């Protein structure tokens, strides 16, 4: 388990150039205290139940062992404040950031790679009873995720209070989660498998919540750390 900082840009008809992505990888890989970092870019997949439109043009996720290290990385004028300088193609596009506690689960056949495909899901909230919501989701959904064919990773992010000096809006999602696969084709195979029906049945048992949820297929590239 670890703390995660998640930054996503709003959906926009923009493609980030490879040169900017390379510069972003260099910046993220040198952030003090970071233990793992990934960059999300748009992918495609088919889901039996939802179609939430085009994914955001870019997202990043950084992991830290402690909340103090995460907050240090988020200080005004720190390394992450330089993201705008290396991403001129996203100038003027809103982005938000949020800190989370990151829970992970084992999968039958883990196969980590430098490039994977993730299904990134955002639950905005609020829930009528957040404790009941989290208890149900954390206990009920991961055992179903584990039965997805070809699944390589499972994580659930739950919010924490944190201090930021970053030039991004602070999000307040009640939860984000992610399942990871080898490719968009493998993700589609999972999302059109019988297991997807089990997840949908569990969705109808969720404790009451507002804000909806959003599902995005995203290429997920691992950052080389300095």
CA angle (8 as vertex; 165, 146 as ends), nearest 5 = 120
Q: What is the pLDDT along the chain (226 residues), one digit of tens a residue?
A: 899 999 999 999 999 999 999 999 999 999 999 999 999 999 999 999 999 999 999 999 999 999 999 999 999 988 898 999 999 999 999 999 999 999 999 999 999 999 999 999 999 999 999 999 999 999 999 999 999 999 999 999 999 999 999 999 999 999 999 999 999 999 999 999 999 999 999 999 999 999 999 999 999 999 999 9
For residue 1, the model assigns a pLDDT of 82
Q: Terminal CA-to-CA distance of the chain, rounded, Å? A: 22
| pTM listed for this prediction | 0.97
Comparing CA positions, the residue from 178, 180, 179, 174 lying closest to residue 134 is 174
Nearby residues of 100 by Cβ (< 8 Å), 6 or more positions away:
3, 4, 5, 6, 157, 158, 159, 160, 176
Pairing mode of beta strands 213-222, 34-42 = antiparallel
Annotated domain spans of the chain? 2-222
pLDDT given for residue 79 in this prediction: 84
Question: Residues 6 or more apart from 22 whose CB is under 8 A from it?
Answer: none
Residue 224: enclosing H or E segment and its boundaries? none
- The domain defined by 2-222 carries CATH number 1.10.3720.10: no
What pLDDT score was predicted for residue 95?
97
């Amino acid at each position: 388990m670890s703390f995660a900082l998640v930054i996503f840009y709003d959906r926009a008809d923009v493609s980030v150039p490879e040169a900017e992505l390379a510069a972003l990888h260099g910046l993220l890989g040198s952030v003090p205290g970071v233990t793992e970092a990934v960059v999300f870019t748009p992918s495609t997949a088919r889901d039996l139940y939802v179609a939430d439109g085009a994914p955001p043009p870019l997202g990043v996720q950084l992991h830290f062992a402690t909340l103090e290290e995460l907050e240090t990385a988020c200080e005004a004028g720190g390394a992450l404040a330089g993201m705008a300088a290396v991403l001129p193609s996203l100038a003027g596009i809103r982005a938000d950031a949020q800190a989370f506690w990151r829970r992970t689960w084992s999968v039958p056949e883990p196969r980590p790679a430098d490039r994977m495909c993730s299904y990134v899901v955002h639950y905005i909230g609020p829930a009528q009873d957040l404790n009941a919501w989290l208890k149900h989701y954390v206990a009920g959904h991961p055992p179903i995720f584990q039965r997805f064919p070809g699944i390589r990773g499972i994580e659930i992010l739950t919010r924490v209070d944190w201090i930021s000096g970053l030039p991004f809006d602070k999000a307040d999602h009640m939860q984000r989660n992610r399942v990871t696969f080898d490719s968009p084709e493998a993700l589609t195979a999972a999302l059109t498998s019988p297991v997807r029906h089990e997840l949908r049945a569990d969705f109808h048992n969720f404790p009451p919540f507002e804000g909806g949820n959003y599902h995005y297929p995203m290429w997920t590239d691992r950052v080389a750390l300095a």
